[in-house]
A and B are shown apart, each in its own frame.
Chain A
Amino acid sequence: MIIIGCLFNADGSFFRWSVHRDMLRQVSVFGILACGMTVVIITAGIDLSVSSVLALGAVFFAWFTLPLGWPAVYAIPAVLAIGLGLGSVSGFLVARMRIQPFIVTLAMMVFARGFAKVVSGGQKVTNYVMQPDGSAELIEHSPIFSLIDSRILGGNISVVTIIFAVCVFVTWVVLARLRLGRHIYAVGSNEEAARLSGVPVRRTLISAYAISGLLAAVAGICQAAQETQGDPETGSAYELDAIAMVVIGGTTLAGGKGSVVLTLIGVLTIGYLQKILSLNAAPEATRLMLTGAIIVCAVMFQKGKR
């Protein structure tokens, strides 16, 4: 993909670091979702609810910090707990009630979106706050927003990209180094065999969905910071991008195989594809069609390798 970028470098703009920096910033929120999605897909499941949990996280984060005026040290853990909780509920329904992951997370997707609208009253949560006496007042923006949406290291890398990198690393540790990760692969590859080997299948499944929910909440905080508001409509259909990134990386929907490193490759592939096309002034429609084609090619390539 990078080679293609060099070929179609749009008069050398591909060689500027700022292009790469912006690309990384743009894919970070999707990438964070894709990390959680990878974990769930390895268990042979799917999590459609990440986009709505993201929106709910964004709304709660904005609500806590702006109208309620909480400091970030309370607001962030609270939002993460909400994501973790909703993920655990999905996991519980999948593991304990034996409902198909598609159905469970579809229901959670609808529910969380509705919940986000209830919390926000259907409005965007901004720093334009209604006072009890009915008048509206512009309050000062919480500094955490601009902190997350800023660049560090001499303006060379966005904070959201750092957050994304941390998420990749943490997910990698969980999957490749922890007992939980081994159990996740085993359950995805052969659930019955895992159960009969003494693997706590239910706990493993619940953990997988909880991780996905937690990361969706992280993505929600980043999204809110980037949009400087909590929009209950935000992130719609992001779950499909996340799934596409996981699949392009080579993690199969059948479960048991894949890794977050592959997902990182998938995230960068899509990110660079979009960047190169926009640098070359390709229209949105072309971008979508090419993304579709790439998904199919990536999967065929994986099949051929086997």
Chain B
Amino acid sequence: MSRDSEEAGPACSIAPLGPDGELGCIEPLVAMRDIRKAFGPVEVLHGVDFDVQPGEVCALAGENGAGKSTLIKILSGVYDDFSGALTVCGKPQHFAHPIEAARAGIATIHQELSLVPSMSVADNLFLGREMTGRFGFIEFESQEAEAKRILENLELDVTPRTLVEDLPLSIQQLLEIGRALARDASVLVLDEPTSALNEHEAGILFNRIVALRSEGKAIIYITHKMEEIYTLADRITVLRDGKLVGTALTRELAPDELVKWMVGRDVVAEAAERQDLQEEPALEVSDLFVAHREGAGKFIVDGISFTLRRGEILGLAGLQGSGTSEVMHGLFGALGTRVTGRVRLLGDEFEIHCPSESVRRGLVLLTNDRKTSGLAPDLSVVENASLASLSRYSSRFGWIRRSKEVEAVRRLTEEFGLNAPSLHAPVSTLSGGNQQKVYLARWLMTEPKVLLLDEPTRGVDIGAKTDVYGLMRDWVSRGMSILLITSEMEELLALCDRVLVMFKGHLAAEFMRDAVTKDDVLSASMGHLSPIKDAVEGETS
């Protein structure tokens, strides 16, 4: 443990870079050499070298299971049983505990938020390093003042006394970064920080990252999104199967080359040809209203009507808070009495009632968070996959026909290309992409007519993403229909036959597949039908 006082500043001083930010000539802030790490008998990192310079954003890329998280967990002190050399600011280190890494100036922001929901913003910012007076009492006023400064710095319109649970997820994500900054970190590790953010919020985050880079901080950025790598990173380091594939300056590594590095083969992510759509409607929605959680006559979804045709992939775009997710949850019956509207499913009147009834009628919802509302982590692959269709595999008295059940899951997961140690292993032992396949399998096993998919590729690596795209195209060609929400614009444009854009609970625009650009969707989702530049200016003025 460090013998420094609690208020010790950054573990080393950093000389700010010149305006051109020349790289490679300074001593690296973090240097990892020949890092090896094994879980039991299985070695997952086979001698990886990794450097970050001060004043640099280094993207760490690779598919799920490539070893990115393991490497980061070694750097942040989560794992201490590794071999190899770790140097921070020129000093050899071997962190035995995350606190030691934090004291050395390394702040890691994991995908899962580590805020305490029932505590205020200020309390969270200073959690574990409270400002205390002489007798150990917390000095709330100075803490609040300091919190205010941090929030202003982050351009967040939040008061320090707000409870974290009352804030949207995106703001919480920014707070998490604020907390790291409040600790005077010199190395910032961001693990998929934008997975819960919309484009606008991601923009705020990117601005902050650029500012931090110019302050001389080193930033390690992990993401699956190509556009983010090319917007932000100065340098890209790619891991595959626990080995270093290479590192290159971003401007010298073309995107398709990067994908080849990551996957080890060429990936074609083109928009497939679609046959002509059937005109037959699958889901007709008219005057759908979803009341605000607090009621008070406010509506998150404020009267929208649309039709999803058979065999169609219909995109539903919109910023966080525009009501897209609520449309899906509302239709599925997950929001209870907050929802009103008339719905017809394959021509039949459909009363929005409750999830079990919707599943029975063939309308299913894949939520955007498989961890909290998707999978049951302790249950096995089979048990998770068959959860929604159990009545098909059990007798009238509820006796489960296990061999039939396992057989059905095996057939479907083989078709999905699921990679699991065993179908009877807890689903939590699978990688993110494979978990998502199990979640998708659950719904396919119910033989649905209409799939509501909310971010079906969130937190999924490129290989699995391509698989999911292929599956979705296969389903619609078999006559199912998909309503799709995705925060990845490329995905939206490549997959959807039509795109609806929501803004503040209303439908703002509708685009056909061949006549839509990214800018169109973005500006419509910000409430403008003009080019995107005007939209941004309009918002700041």
> Which A residues have a C-beta under 8 Å from some C-beta of B?
177-180, 182-183, 185-186, 188-190, 192-200, 256-257
With beta carbons under 8 angstroms apart, the residue of B360, B365, B387, B398 that contacts A194 is: B387
On whether the beta carbons of A179 and B391 are closer than 8 Å, the reply is yes
The residues of A that contact B374 with a CB separation of less than 8 Å are 190, 193, 196
A-side contacts of B388, CB under 8 Å: 197-199
Total contacting residues, chain B, CB less than 8 A: 30
Check if B390 sits within 8 Å of A179, measured CB to CB.
yes
Asked if B394 and A198 make an inter-chain contact with CB atoms under 8 angstroms apart, the answer reads no
B372 at the interface (CB under 8 A from A): yes
Does B322 sit within 8 A of A, measured CB to CB? Answer: no
Contact of A197 with B355 at beta-carbon distance under 8 Å, contacts A179-B394, A182-B390, A256-B378 already known: yes
* B367, B376, B398: the one within 8 Å of A186 (CB): B376
CA distance A193 to B375 in the complex (A): 6
| Complex contacts, A189 vs chain B, CB 8 Å | 376-379
Complex: how many Å from CA A257 to CA B426?
Answer: 10
Are B400's CB and A182's CB within 8 A? yes
Q: A180-B398, A186-B387, A194-B387 are in contact. Are A200 and B356 (CB under 8 A)?
A: yes
Q: Is the CB of B399 within 8 A of A186?
A: no
Query: Once the chains are docked, how many angstroms separate the CA of A183 from the CA of B388?
Result: 10
- What are 21 A-B pairs with beta-carbon distances under 8 A? A178-B394, A178-B400, A182-B383, A185-B376, A186-B379, A186-B383, A186-B387, A188-B378, A189-B377, A192-B373, A193-B374, A194-B387, A195-B355, A197-B387, A197-B388, A197-B442, A198-B358, A198-B359, A198-B360, A256-B379, A257-B378
User: Measured between alpha carbons, how far is A179 from B402 in the docked complex, in Å?
Assistant: 11
Contacts of B95 in A (CB 8 A): none
B299 proximity list for chain A (CB < 8 A): none
Q: Is the CB of B379 within 8 A of A196?
A: no
Q: Which residue of A lies closest to B359 (CB)?
A: A198
Q: How far is the CA of A235 from the CA of B495 in the complex (A)?
A: 64
Known contacts A179-B391, A190-B372, A196-B365; is-contact A256 B377 (Cβ 8 Å): yes
- Chain A at the B interface: SS class: helix
A residues in contact with B503, CB < 8 Å: none
Is B332 interfacial (CB-CB < 8 Å)?
A: yes
Chain B positions within 8 Å of A, measured between CB atoms, are 332, 334, 355-360, 365, 367, 372-379, 383, 387-388, 390-391, 394, 397-400, 402, 442
Closest 10 CB pairs of A and B: A189-B376, A198-B356, A256-B378, A198-B359, A179-B398, A197-B388, A189-B378, A190-B376, A192-B373, A178-B398
Beta-carbon nearest neighbor of A192 in chain B: B373
Cα–Cα, bound, A262→B196 (Å): 40
CA A256 – CA B387 in complex, angstroms?
14
With the chains together, A193 CA to B400 CA distance in Å? Answer: 20
For the complex formed, measure the closest distance between the CB of B42 and the CB atoms of chain A, giving whole angstroms: 17
Q: Residue among B367, B374, B398, B442 with the most chain A CB within 10 A?
A: B398
B398 touches A196 (CB 8 A): no
Q: Which residues on B sit within 8 Å (CB–CB) of A179?
A: 390-391, 394, 398-400
| Residues from chain B with Cβ under 8 Å of A194 in the complex | 376, 387
A197 to B378 alpha-carbon distance, docked (Å): 16
Determine the chain A residues whose CB is within 8 A of the CB of B373 once the complex forms.
190, 192-193, 196
- B378–A199 contact, CB under 8 A? no
A194 to B391, CA, bound (A): 14
| A304 vs chain B, min Cβ distance (A) | 14
| A194-B387, A195-B355, A197-B355 known; A185-B398 Cβ under 8 A | no
